[in-house]
């Protein structure tokens, strides 16, 4: 089961402003990725459910975090059905992310008080998600919609909290555009944890990039 409450997770997502995403089948490499993000100040990671036996990798990483990295929250993304969501919750997932809104997954997460962040692309989808208890909606793919879409949504619905994923990069120009538009946090995958970092096992670079990106987000928000 999750080791953090729904309120703790949602508060951290808003405070940190960034959710790193990654998947790799190598458990030991995964541990180094998580530790590098942790040492860079990150306290949340979305593990994407992709390869065979991905749940076993997640389980090992979550046990590692609980034993070695106090305060680190692991969640899971790329979930497509309730059975898989329940499986990851049993392995201690602290939040569930999907590419599209699923009412059945919302019910499953609500039953266990686990934050659910579904991908939405229209005002209607966002409204349905919020009516189903969703606190933060994922704008996916973010590159397709852009910051202008966020501004348009926030105008009639200022209470809507949005996390764009896809098309987010750790540059001042890109992050300023998103946060000025009113996003609550951003999801960042390959632009943060790049293939080059994984291939070269350059975890010092990942730690530095995480630290710099979190500092940049804090600075951008401070200007608002």
Q: At what angle do helices 172-181 and 147-154 cross, to 10 degrees?
A: 20
The string of pLDDT tens digits covering residues 134-152 is 999 999 999 999 999 999 9
* Predicted local distance difference test score (pLDDT) of residue 1: 83
**Average pLDDT score, the chain:** 96
pLDDT > 70 fraction of the chain, expressed in percent and rounded:
99
* Predicted local distance difference test score (pLDDT) of residue 174: 97
Helix (H, G, I), strand (E, B) or coil at 87: helix
> What is the distance between the alpha carbons of residues 184 and 161, in angstroms, rounded to a whole number?
6
The string of pLDDT tens digits covering residues 48-75 is 999 899 999 999 999 999 999 999 999 9
Rounded to whole angstroms, the maximal C-alpha distance in the chain is 46
* Predicted local distance difference test score (pLDDT) of residue 204: 97
Confidence of residue 2 (pLDDT cuts 50, 70, 90): confident
For the chain, domains (ranges, CATH) are 6-217 (3.20.20.70)
> What is the distance between the alpha carbons of residues 84 and 104, in angstroms, rounded to a whole number?
12
For the entire predicted model, the pTM comes to: 0.96
**For residue 224, pLDDT beyond 70:** no
> What is the distance between the alpha carbons of residues 155 and 215, in angstroms, rounded to a whole number?
28
Tell me the torsion sign for CA atoms 131, 77, 109, 5: negative
The string of pLDDT tens digits covering residues 23-41 is 999 999 999 999 999 999 9
As a whole number, mean pLDDT of residues 171-197 equals 96
The string of pLDDT tens digits covering residues 148-177 is 999 999 999 999 999 999 989 999 999 999
As a whole number, mean pLDDT of residues 3-7 equals 97
> What is the distance between the alpha carbons of residues 96 and 88, in angstroms, rounded to a whole number?
8
Q: What does the CA dihedral 79, 29, 26, 14 come to, rounded to 10 degrees?
A: 0
Helix (H, G, I), strand (E, B) or coil at 40: coil
**For residue 223, pLDDT beyond 70:** no
């Amino acid at each position: 089961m999750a080791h953090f409450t729904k309120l703790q997770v949602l508060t951290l997502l808003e405070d940190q402003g960034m959710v790193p995403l990654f998947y790799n089948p190598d458990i030991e490499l995964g541990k180094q990725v998580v530790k590098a993000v942790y040492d860079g100040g990150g306290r949340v990671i979305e593990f994407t459910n992709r390869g065979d036996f991905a749940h076993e990798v997640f389980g090992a990483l979550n046990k590692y975090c609980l034993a070695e990295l106090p305060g680190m929250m692991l969640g899971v993304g790329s979930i497509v059905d309730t059975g898989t969501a329940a499986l990851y919750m049993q392995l201690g997932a602290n939040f569930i992310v999907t590419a599209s809104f699923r009412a059945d997954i919302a019910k499953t997460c609500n039953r266990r008080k686990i934050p659910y962040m579904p991908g939405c692309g229209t005002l209607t989808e966002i409204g349905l998600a919020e009516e189903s208890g969703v606190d933060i909606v994922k704008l996916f793919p973010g590159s397709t919609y852009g910051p202008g879409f966020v501004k348009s949504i926030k105008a009639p619905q200022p209470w809507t909290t949005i996390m764009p994923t896809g098309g987010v990069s750790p540059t001042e120009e890109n992050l300023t555009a998103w946060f000025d538009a009113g996003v609550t946090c951003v999801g960042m995958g390959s632009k943060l944890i790049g293939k080059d970092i994984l291939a070269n096992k350059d975890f010092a670079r990942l730690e530095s990039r995480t630290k710099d990106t979190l500092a940049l987000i804090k600075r951008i928000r401070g200007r608002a």
